[in-house]
Structure 1
Amino acid sequence: MTDSVRPAENYYHLHLVSDSTGETLISVARAAAAQYSGVKPIEHIYPLVRTHKQLDKAISDIDEYPGIVLYTLTEPELRNRLKAYCLDNGIPVLSVLAPVVRLFQAYLGGAPTPRVGGQHQLDGEYFRRIDAMNFTVMHDDGQHTDGLEAADVVLLGISRSSKTPTSIYLANRGIKTANIPLVPNIPVPPGLSELKRPLVVGLVASAERVVEIRRNRLLGLNAAQPHDSYIDRDSVAEEIAFSRRLCVRHDWPVIDVTRRSIEETAAAIIGLLQEHRRRLAEIGS
C-alpha cells in the first residue's frame, strides 16, 4: 500500500464480502463500527461473490488495503479460500453468521441447508412489506384519512416532527403507517378518536429542535422569513403544547423524538404496538 492511498490514523479499511446483496453484512458491520466513534471505516463492499474470479477482486483489494474482513459466503470453497488467505497473512477475518448458525444447530440439531440469499426470498413477509409501503405512501401527510382504520399505526405531530421518515421506516418493517399533521385551531380528521384497530401515537420534539429543522428547511428553499411564526420559538412551543394536550385528552401515547434517531423512535413504537395488539387480543377473546 503506497503512502498516497494510506488512510489517516483515524480511519481503517473494512472489507465486506457476500454472495448475496450484502445487506445483512453491511448492517452488522455498521452497527459494530458505530461503537467506535473516534475512528471511521473505509468500506470495501463486494456483493454477489459466487465465483473464484469474483473472489480474486476482493482478495486483491484486501492485499492492497489490509483491515478487517467480514463475510457471508455459503460456498465452502470460496469461504475456506478467503479465510485461509486472511489467516496466512495475519488479517482479522470473521463469518458474521457462523456463530449464530452454530447456536441454532446446537438447539435444533442437524446440519443447516444453506441457501445463497435465502433471507431475501420473495415470501409472504416480502409482499407484506411492499403492501405496507404502498399504504404508507398513500396515507402520508394527512392523505386519505377515510382509510385510517386499516392502518397498524397512525402518527400525529406538528410539522418537522419526523412523521414521514418514521412512517417509511415502519413500513419497511411491514407496518402500515399513516401520519397526520397537527396544526393548532385546525380540527383533526373526523373519526380519529374512534379508531379501534390502529395504535395512535403522538410525536413531539423540543421547540429548539423543531425551529432548527424548520429554519434549515426554509433556508434550503430560499424562503426564510425572520419573523415567520413557522420558525418563531413561542409559536412552535404552543404547537407542541397543543399536540401534547390533544394526546393526553385521548389517552394516546407520546414519544419525544428530540434526541432519538428514527430507528430508536420506530423501536419504541413497535414496542407500543405489540402491547396494543395484546390488549386487542384480550378484548376479543
Structure 2
Amino acid sequence: MAGRRVFHLHLVSDATGETLNAVARAACAQYEDVRAIEHVYALVRGPKQLERALGEIEEAPGMVMFTMVNDDLRAKLEKRCLELEVPCISVLDPAINALGSYLGREISHKPGGQHIMDQEYFDRIAALNFTMAHDDGQSPGDLDEADVILVGVSRTSKTPTCIYLANRGIKAANIPLVPDIPLPAELETAKKPLIIGLVANPERLIQIRRNRLLSLNEKTETDYVDRAAVAAEVAHARKLYSRNGWPVIDVTRRSIEETAAAVLNLYTRKENA
C-alpha cells in the first residue's frame, strides 16, 4: 500500500506473551495504513533476558509494550526506553490497578499467573483431547458428552473453531455435512450439547475449496467446487438446521476468533437459561 508506515514494535513479557501479543495486534488492527515489525521477547524474568531485549530495542528503536511484574526489571526497561526516547507502555497496568482498587488487594507480583496448572488448566487439556478425538465426525459414540457440536459443509472452519473453543475449556465436536452421507444417529439423540449449524456464502466456499485443491495439486473440476452443487449443499444445510431448530452462524465474513466468540455467546446463553 502506497504511503504505508512501517514501524518496529517490541513486545516484552515475563510470561508466554500471549496476552501482550493479542493486545498489540488488536490495537494495530485499528490503523489500516501501518504495519508493525514485531519483535517478541517471552519469559523475560532475569537481567540476561532483559539485556537481550534492550539490545534489540536499541538496534531497531520503536514502540515498546510490556507485561512484567518484577519492579526492578520494569524500572530498568522504562529507564532505558526513556534514554532512547521511545514510548514504553505497560498494557496491563490500567486493568490491574483498577481491579486492585476495587478489591482493596495488593497484586501478587507472580509472572504468568494465568498459566498455572490448576483444575481449569487440566479441564482445558481434557477439552482439547476430546475435541481432537471428535474431529470431522470421528468417535460419534459419545457425542452426548460434548458441550458444543458444530455441524457444517466442508470449509466452514469447523475444526479450527473447535480447537479454539477447546482452548477455552469447551468440549467441542464437529460433524461434516457430506452429500449423500447420512449424519450419525448419535447426533439426533444427543441432549446435552449445544448443536450449532455453520454456513457460508457459496462463492466464498468455492474460493476456499479451490485454494484447498490447489494446495493438494488437485486440478480436476468436481462438484466440490461446482457453483450449483455448492449452493445446493448450503441450501440443504440451512433446511437441516431449521428443521432441527439449531442456531445458525454465518462464517462468511468471520474470523475463527469471531466465530468462536459467537459460539461462546450462544453456549453461555444456553447454560444460563
Q: What are the superposed Cα offsets for residues 111-142 of structure 1, whole Å, 9 maximum, x if unpaired?
A: 21210211111111111111011000100111
Residue matched to 1:214: 209
Shift of 1:87: 2.2
Shift of 1:9: 5.9
- Map 1:26-65; keep pairs closer than 5 Å: 26-65=21-60
Between 148-157 and 57-66, report the one with greater CA deviation: 57-66
Residue matched to 1:22: 17
- Map 1:107-256; keep pairs closer than 5 Å: 107-226=102-221, 228-256=222-250
CA distance in 1, matches of 2:17, 2:202: 40
Give the alignment partner of residue 276 of structure 1, picking from 256, 261, 270.
270
Between 269-278 and 8-17, report the one with greater CA deviation: 8-17
The one-letter code of the counterpart of 1:149 is D
The one-letter code of the counterpart of 1:176 is K
Given the two structures, how large is their TM-score scaled by the length of structure 2? 0.95
Q: How much is the aligned-residue C-alpha RMSD, in angstroms?
A: 1.4
The one-letter code of the counterpart of 1:276 is K
Q: What are the superposed Cα offsets for residues 149-171 of structure 1, whole Å, 9 maximum, x if unpaired?
A: 00000010111111111111111
Give the alignment partner of residue 259 of structure 1, picking from 238, 253, 260.
253
**Cα separation, partners in 2 of 1:137 and 1:110, compared to 1, 3 Å:** closer
CA distance in 2, matches of 1:207, 1:86: 51
The one-letter code of the counterpart of 1:109 is G
Tell me if 1:97 matches 2:92.
Answer: yes
Q: How many residues are aligned here? A: 271
Shift of 1:223: 1.8
SS at match of 1:245: helix
Q: Give every structure 1 segment of 4 or more consecutive aligned residues whose post-TM-superposition deviation is greater than 3 Å.
A: none
Identity of aligned residues (%): 55
- Specify every segment of 5 or more residues in structure 2 that has no aligned partner in the other structure, as ranges: none
SS at match of 1:188: coil
SS at match of 1:191: helix
**Are the counterparts in 2 of residues 158 and 240 from structure 1 also a CA contact under 8 Å?**
yes
CA distance in 2, matches of 1:134, 1:9: 43
**Are the counterparts in 1 of residues 4 and 33 from structure 2 also a CA contact under 8 Å?**
no
Residue matched to 2:63: 68
Shift of 1:219: 1.7
